[in-house]
Structure 1
Amino acid sequence: MSDLFVPAASPRPAPRFSRHILVAEGELLCRGDDFLHSQPAPAVVLCSHYLGELAGEPCGVHQLSRRIEVPGCEWRRLRSLLGAVDELRFALAGRAMQVVDWDRDHRFCGRCGRETEYHPRDRARVCPGCRLAVYPRISPCVIMLVTRGEECLLARHTHHRHSLYTALAGFIEPGENAEQALRREVQEEVGLEVGESHYIGSQSWPFPGQLMLGYLARWHAGRVRPDRDEIAEADWYHYTDLPEIPPPQTLSGQLIRTFAASISKNGKR
């Protein structure tokens, strides 16, 4: 059977789960790198949600009231699974965490303060008073690798503890399209103007709930001036002499590798 995950378009009615994901205090219960369990935990479950089917098996996530000790298992942060599991399973773990976070964060109405209720069909929490409906929030972002001939611009972010150099990224503001956000973010973060851009692909990024839209963008004018607020340092790197970059499971890593492979194959852009 194909190892394919089919997300649930609607959480109700939910089938009986065959695979269980257990979450407590922002962490997943794992046996090694495996977070999918054949049985739910013998503990108080605050909420359970149907996520979809993995290889034809219904998967659900359970939020527990506390972390429990399970022989042979440990509690792990979601980010620790990045690169440790394949892209499909990481996306499933991210989906589980985002659904649990949405449920926890919207138990009360942000408009009138009343306790919310589950929608009878959709994945939404609805206020019985003012009828405000809140669905899981997804924030669109752009992530762009700026290129100049055989070089690409890589940056180290101020809030990252590791030494990885990555592509630039930022949230799309109200009223912007993706290309406008791309140009604005590059100007704000490193002081450059970009010209032609090409969409490469997208990725769900569950930290905490973004949809990343990936681009290659050609440098047009300006010199690199990191803003020092979000960008600690940035510089041009030849495709044959790159610093430590994100793993290929990330969209940033894919953009960088796509650029390097294209130059290696076709020559200077």
Structure 2
Amino acid sequence: MIKKSLYDNYSIDFKENYRTEEDSYYFIFYNRELYLNENNELPLINEEELNKKFNVNFSLYIGTFKNKPAFVVDIIESSEKFYNLTDVFPIDDELFLIGGRAVQILDWYKNHQYCGVCGTHNVMDDDLMMLKCPKCGHINFTRIAPAIIVAIRKDDKLLMAYHSYYKIKQYTILAGFVEAGETLEEAVHREVKEEVGINIKNVKYFASQSWPFPNSLMVGFTAEYDRGKIKVDNFEILKARWFSKDEIERRSNISISSWLIDDFLDS
């Protein structure tokens, strides 16, 4: 499990048109991938150096990192090397955490420039981090999509499934997005029933994780098998079965999925 907190060396703030001559940390993204310098570090440079090196679409102040101003930057094009955030994690897990926040702010700011109700150009609020329509008053906060993920036990075995949409073809635990109007616990029960056809019991909160691919908040649970026979939906889930501990390999601890699997293996 990731031991660091987003707030160990970072403090939230925001300003739309903030400028400073001070050297600052820049979270520079191109196609949602993060730039690191030749030392695999976040660049600490001034605005002039930033604009000399990159074709900047916009730069937005997002607080302080290690007591320096921090900006998220969207660039138009570049021949520099950029890293997917999953590749940043083994280099610097703190940059993975704060970079995850930065790229979600970038997506929100970039995709909500105009009001979805009347088409007027939005403006940033002075007090709250939201984009507001000056004409009709419609507001847009940063977007977060809550999702549940659950490790289901039956005696000394763990339910794992083969998902149709995973790029990495391997078995893992069940997950799904929360529907409007339901609680997190209801989402756990529904997703399990829909995807593998069984009923579960003793649903308990485990942990949560921000997952910026693109904007999920993963809420983890453990549960126990209650009744029913596994019957996959053949849409999201192609196969599912019970795994004993000696059939499961440990994985990178980047995700809450691996934390839940490790919790099972260590129990």
TM-score bracket relative to the smaller structure = 0.7 to 0.9
Match of 2:82 in 1: 75
* SS in structure 1 at match of 2:172: coil
1:59 has 2:70 as partner:
yes
* Cα distance in structure 2, aligned partners of 1:109 and 1:34: 38
* Cα distance in structure 2, aligned partners of 1:97 and 1:55: 19
* SS in structure 1 at match of 2:180: coil
* SS in structure 2 at match of 1:182: helix
Query: Aligned runs of 1:1-269 on 2, under 5 Å?
Result: 4-11=8-15, 16=20, 18-31=24-37, 34=40, 36-39=42-45, 40-42=50-52, 43-64=54-75, 66-70=76-80, 74-81=81-88, 83-243=89-249, 246-262=251-267
* SS in structure 2 at match of 1:254: helix
- How far 1:200 sits from its partner (Å)? 0.8
* SS in structure 1 at match of 2:168: coil
8 Å contact from structure 1 (residues 142, 182) kept in 2:
yes
Match of 1:265 in 2: none
Deviation >6 Å, runs of 4+: none
- How far 1:86 sits from its partner (Å)? 4.3
Amino acid at match of 1:103: Y
CA gap 1:15/1:4 in 2 versus in 1, 3 angstroms: farther
- How far 1:78 sits from its partner (Å)? 2.8
* Cα distance in structure 2, aligned partners of 1:69 and 1:215: 42
- With normalisation by structure 1, the TM-score equals 0.86
CA gap 1:139/1:257 in 2 versus in 1, 3 angstroms: same
Question: Share of identical aligned residues, percent?
Answer: 30
Q: Which ranges of structure 1 fall in alignment gaps of 5 or more residues?
A: 263-269
- How far 1:101 sits from its partner (Å)? 0.5
8 Å contact from structure 2 (residues 16, 60) kept in 1:
no
Amino acid at match of 1:75: F
* Cα distance in structure 1, aligned partners of 2:129 and 2:230: 44
8 Å contact from structure 1 (residues 5, 52) kept in 2:
no
1:107-149: CA deviations, max 9, x gaps? 1111111111111232211111111110101111111011111
Q: Which ranges of structure 2 fall in alignment gaps of 5 or more residues?
A: none
Compute the RMSD of aligned alpha carbons.
2.3
- How far 1:24 sits from its partner (Å)? 2.2
- With normalisation by structure 2, the TM-score equals 0.87
8 Å contact from structure 1 (residues 22, 41) kept in 2:
no
